Amino acid sequence: MCRDHQKQHWKRHKSSCCAYKICMSPELGRYLVATRDLKPGEMVISETPLVLGPMAVTVPVCLACYKPADGKFSCLKCGWPMCNPGCAKSPVHEPECTLTASRGSPLQMPSNCYNKPYPIYEVVTILRSLYLKQSSPSKWKKFKELEAHEEGRRRNGRYDKDLSTMVRVIREFLRIPETVFTQQEILDVCGVLTVNAHELPITTVPVQALYANISLLEHSCINNASKHFDGDFRVVVRAAVNIKKGEHISINYSDPMWGTASRQLHLAETKYFNCQCVRCQDPTEMGTMFSSIRCPQCTVEQGGYLVSENPTGGPANWTCIACTKVQPHSFVDAVTQSIGEELVMLEKGNIEACQAFIKKHSQNLHPNHYYLQDIKLALCQMIGQSATGQGHEVFNLSEKELVYKQKIGLELLEVANRISPGISRLRGVILYELQATLAAYARRKFSAGEISSEHMRNIMKEVKKYLVECIQIFSFEPPCLQEGRLATIARLDLLELETFLDSLQNKV
């Protein structure tokens, strides 16, 4: 096809053209790069699982539909609990069924194993992965190309744990010999699943899945792409912000609401690497001071806060941004640990206790510290419960409560815009809470005659902007997830809002 012809058909061709290419470097291994400019919401990858199965820690489930198993029916061939004969004949159940049946006698599950995690289920997804060697050489080849991080797993003891448990279960309990699956193949499968599997919260009991290309997406704590589920085990990765042609495509393996030290520890222990992204290298975490505590040497007027001198290099001194005095990491660790222990003990769902926690620890923590942000997010959702889908309780709040909720919502959004920009669940939830609060406050003022129709219309245009963006963020989620249900609620709210705006227009 000539270049002119490509340009002529680009509008139609663009949506089907692959948005990424696989690249390689000594530092990153394989990674993905955008092959064209991508706008927020634009699809990068849509992929079905290479392997799908129950989580390593799970209650007994049907191995076809993943509903909780009750022990009333088991597969006649292998003995694994299932829902019914139909589920027992499902092709997805074939790997563990074939491999378990080959031991010579069906599996016998104890009657008291239901409704609590049962360890034997950890082997199921491992068996399904190993079975690719026999059932699909092409998928097995893709599986083996993924990183097992043997050295890292040896360092933290995970390798030895898999050797003493999973290898032993497969050898001694299931009686599968070395000639079928070697010890190294079993250990490599354990490693690949540990590092690369994604949890899918779309079934009654969450499951895990492994994807060939999505596993190549690199991590960044300021990711430019977001991961979505379509309700049928397919994962879709979309641009979260504008991505330029040639830029690396990244998702977040960690939690944006954790401080740098917590994210670094989590990534080191579960993904076996030290993150060097722009957020981790910035002691201020994109100007948010997300991990900073108050400098003990500064007065309140000076307003000094401590930042790490080496946030990605392990324990380091912390320096005050105002007086430049240095504090050892042990001091910061002690303060953070003490307040963290208090946070763990905080009564869940108690609005007064949450507010008291914020008031008390605002004296020691930066207003944007992740402990305070965590509590503010919980409060923003609890006060008025506008996102529960159980009605508009937010309209029953007092004016003081509405002002407080709006204040913490705006604070949360300002931070979220920096640490989790674009299409992110965090921003979607905050935007929904903010619009509901602003709408309730404005309607109350308008009903009392305290603001004009023109002023009300301007406020409602701001509310509409929040709602539209919230709908865009959550429109990619299936109805089985809370975010998908919230998108439906937000669309109804938008219809109601547009009707109200029309009525205001008619009054002018």
pLDDT band at 395 (very low <50, low <70, confident <90, very high): confident
DSSP three-state, residue 14 = helix
Q: How many Å apart are CA 442 and CA 458, to the nearest integer?
A: 10
State how far the Cα of 393 lies from the Cα of 385, in Å rounded to an integer. 6
Tell me the DSSP string of 257-280.
TS-HHHHHHHHHHHT------HHH
Q: Tell me, what's the pLDDT at 508?
A: 53
- Cα 497 to Cα 383, 465, 491, 502: the distances in Å are 21, 11, 10, 9
pLDDT value of residue 507: 63
How many CB atoms sit inside 10 A of residue 315's CB? 12
Give Cα separations from 149 to 129, 158, 272, 354 (angstroms): 17, 10, 7, 41
248/94 Cα distance (integer angstroms)? 38
Average pLDDT on 143-172 reads 95
More confident residue, 95 or 111: 95
Residue listed under structure tokens 């999505």: 214
Query: Three-state DSSP class for 52?
Result: strand
Instruction: List pLDDT tens digits, range 291-340.
Output: 999 999 998 788 899 999 999 988 899 999 999 999 999 999 999 999 99
Structural tokens at position 297:
């040497």
Distance CA 216, CA 225 (A): 13
d(Cα 361, Cα 358) in Å, to the nearest integer?
A: 5
Check pLDDT > 50 for residue 465. Answer: yes
Q: Give the torsion sign (CA, 390, 455, 461, 407).
A: negative
Which architecture characterizes domain 3-48+214-252 according to CATH?
Beta Complex (2.170)
Short-list 424, 441, 333, CA closest to 386: 441
Within 8 A by CB and 6+ apart from 51, the residues are 125, 128, 129, 132, 143, 193, 209, 210
Q: What gap in Å lies between CA 450 and CA 251, rounded to an integer?
A: 46
Return the amino acid letter for 479: P
d(CA 162, CA 57): 14
Place of tokens 């919260």: 201
* Pairing of the two strands 250-251 and 218-219: parallel
Cα atoms in the Cβ-side hemisphere of radius 13 Å centred on 415: 27
How does pLDDT run across 195-232, given as a tens digit for each residue? Answer: 999 999 888 899 999 999 999 999 999 999 999 988 78
Place of tokens 């109200």: 500
With a threshold of 0.85, does the pTM exceed it? yes
In Å, how far are 11, 12, 13, 287, 500 from 7, measured between CA atoms?
A: 8, 10, 9, 42, 45
- The Cα diameter of the chain in Å comes to 83
pLDDT above 60 for 240: yes
The order of strands in the sheet holding 51-54 is 51-54, 207-210, 198-200
At 281, the pLDDT band (50, 70, 90 cuts) reads: very high
Query: What's the pLDDT score for residue 391?
Result: 45
Q: How much helix, strand and coil, in percent to the nearest 5, is found in the chain?
A: 50, 10, 40
Q: What's the confidence (pLDDT) of residue 392?
A: 60
13 pLDDT above the threshold of 60? no
Q: What is the pLDDT of residues 338-383, one digit of tens each?
A: 999 999 999 888 999 999 999 999 999 999 999 999 999 999 999 9
CB count in 10 Å sphere of residue 457: 18
Residue 6: the pLDDT is: 46
Q: Delimit the domains of the chain by residue range.
A: 3-48+214-252, 51-208, 383-508
Residue 302: is it exposed, middle or buried by C-beta count within 10 angstroms (0-12/13-18/19+)? middle
The torsion angles phi and psi of 20, rounded to 5 degrees, stand at: -145, 165
Q: Flag whether pLDDT at 9 surpasses 60.
A: no
Q: What is the pLDDT of residue 386?
A: 56
Q: Interhelix angle for 370-382 vs 399-419, to 10°?
A: 130
Mean pLDDT of the 436-465 span: 92
Burial of 91 (0-12, 13-18, 19+ CB in 10 A): exposed
Alpha-carbon Rg for the chain, nearest whole angstrom, is: 26
CB 35 within 8 A of CB 19: yes
Which H/E stretch holds residue 45? strand 43-47
Return the minimum-mean-pLDDT range out of 2-6, 108-112, 315-319. Answer: 2-6
pLDDT-derived band at 501 (thresholds 50, 70, 90) equals: confident
pLDDT tens by residue, 19-61: 999 999 988 889 999 999 999 999 999 999 999 999 999 999 9
Residue 251: name the closest of 225, 232, 229 by CA: 225
Give the separation between CA 347 and CA 331, rounded to whole angstroms: 27
Q: Considering only 8-12, 188-192, 409-413, which range has the smallest mean pLDDT?
A: 8-12
pLDDT at residue number 115? 86
Average pLDDT of the segment spanning 249-259: 96
Q: Which residue would you say has higher pLDDT here, 462 or 501?
A: 462
385 vs 407, 435, 441, CA distance in Å? 16, 13, 15
Cα separation, 316 vs 57, in Å, equals 36
Taking alpha carbons only, the member of 439, 226, 300 closest to residue 431 is 439
Q: Give residue 123's pLDDT.
A: 97
Compute the mean pLDDT over every residue in the chain, rounded to the nearest whole number.
92
Question: Can you tell me which residue has the tokens 């320096």?
Answer: 319
User: In the numeric block, which tokens belong to residue 143?
Assistant: 């599986």
